Amino acid sequence: MRPEPESSVPLDRLTAFTPLPPERNGIADYAAMLLGALARHYDCEAACEDWLADAPPGIAVVDPALAHRAIAGGDGRVLHQLGNNPGHGFVLEALRRVPGVTTLHDPGLLHLRQTAGATRDTLLAGLRDAPPAFARYARGVAAEDRWSRADHLLFDMAGEVLARSRAVVVHSRFARNRLRALHGEAATAHVEVIPHLLPPFAAPPREEARARLGVPPDAFLVCTAGFATSAKRFDWLIEALEAVPAAHWVHAGAERPEEFPLSAAIAERPALRGRARVAGYLSEAALTDHVAAADALVNLRFPSAGESSGSLARGFAAGVCCVVSDTGAYAELPRDAVLRVPLAGAAPALAEALAALAAEPARARAIGEAGRRFASTEMALPAVALRYRALIEASRGRPVASRPAAPAKPVALALALGPGLTAAAVARALGGVEGPCRLLLAAPDLVSLADLSLERPGLLDGLLPPWAALRAIRVLDGPCAGLLLDVDAGQRGARAA
């Protein structure tokens, strides 16, 4: 059932361009939860590429290609949920045409650009965002057109998003500072930190979850979740778990073998045989069971570009002890709410921490409880929704950068190309034009065109006036058969001279 609005006054429309479940990404889940809470404040609709997606009750899913028609002029309330994967290509497109508040879940957008059809020129143009310190390297990338994994950290390609958004939401000070370092104070003055939200679900008791999963009550269970990417440092975790024979490990998420071959890496380690497995992508309920059943939720990250983690929020909600890398946004979490693992010597430090938790379950439970308390204060969904509302309202009048001007369209002229077409007629047609111009000499078909060119050798030389320079020529087939000429008609004054 849709939440009741706070008063009987009709709510203002809020259009959110976002992926939604069942799309398998954390931002889709985040958006569904956020919209559910924002529905108390707005008449929400979700513009989602999947028109049959699952929106919260009472929230319509609309076609993003048509959503602009219901947005009031340039003053409508619009929210974009943007992440760094191809499922957000339509959000990036929408942001270019309909500005609003943008949640930048991943401050780096190079992967999205590369996978969402950006041309080579667009990508290289994005290098202009590079800070001065990287400028020389950026020129090298542009010159050689080579991209490496390091480029995802160096070039965030977020400049356009910053410029075209009325406000930008990130989930950590780290992410905001990173944007500020790369793009400067002025371009990031409208970046606000709103913490990730706490999923509004009731975690099942640990014993019940374990019973459903077949995990013995006394087993020490480590859980990881989400897509298995290389930045989540499963290599460190595997090394650490080899040194903690008491620990069982389940990865509650899908593999991305092209990034990190998780199953293969586990299979290579005999010490993990029988106590490590990959569950694959899970339903919402199964994922919740896995997190609730765990003694520790491990969420490492290096390098960090300031990403936020839905898995971590889920761990907080379940009151599970969360173990994180001491870097990026994770370093901002209170020391008593998580267990931080240093980047230097991470694997042995992680092994030590897990062994300690396995030996002292009460400590794990205490950290988990402190994490839950922290999250229920700082990340509570109603409070997050209120902060969004305040930002959406405060930023409504804020201007955004203009879209890059489209190149001026050359004047287009057309003449029927046949035996009767004369140079004088072409000169008359071009007479009123100055500068670049596109001239179509339309023929009935290619056969007629070929016949005419045989009958009149040097056809174009004879037809074009001397003051018109032919820059390019294309032969067109099909419904608009003929010769398409790019002509520079020069300046009228120069012609007379």
Footprint on this chain of other proteins (rule: CB under 8 A): 47, 49-52, 60-63, 65-70, 93-94, 96-98, 403, 409, 412-416, 438, 440, 442-445, 476, 478-482, 484
Closest CB 39 distance from other proteins, rounded Å? 17
CB of 140 to other proteins, least distance (A): 34
Closer to other proteins by Cβ: residue 303 or 410: 410
Q: Which amino acid is at 115?
A: T
Q: How far is it, in rounded angstroms, from Cα 283 to Cα 297?
A: 18
Nearest distance in Å: CB 8, other proteins? 23
The Cα 38–Cα 81 span in angstroms is 14
402's CB contacts (< 8 A; 6+ apart) are none
Q: Which is nearer to other proteins, 107 or 482 (CB)?
A: 482
Compute the half-sphere exposure of residue 247: CA atoms within 13 Å on the CB side of its CA. 32
* Least separation in angstroms between CB 149 and other proteins: 30
CB of 65 to other proteins, least distance (A): 5
Query: Minimal distance in Å, beta carbon 69 to other proteins?
Result: 5
Cβ closest to other proteins, residue 48 vs residue 141 = 48
CB nearer to other proteins: pick between 298 and 440: 440
Q: Please report how close the Cβ of residue 60 comes to other proteins at its closest, in angstroms.
A: 6
Query: Is the CA virtual torsion 322, 326, 327, 331 positive or negative?
Result: positive
Task: Label the pairing between strands 482-488 and 469-476.
Answer: antiparallel
- Closer to other proteins by CB, 96 or 398: give it: 96
Q: Which is nearer to other proteins, 128 or 403 (CB)?
A: 403
DSSP, res 379:
S
Considering the complex, state which of residue 60 and residue 356 has its C-beta at the smaller distance from other proteins: 60
Long-range contacts from 353-360, C-beta under 8 angstroms, 24+ separation: 353/323, 354/220, 354/222, 354/240, 354/241, 354/244, 354/247, 354/296, 354/298, 354/323, 355/243, 355/244, 355/246, 357/220, 357/295, 357/296, 357/321, 358/220, 358/244, 358/246, 358/247, 358/295
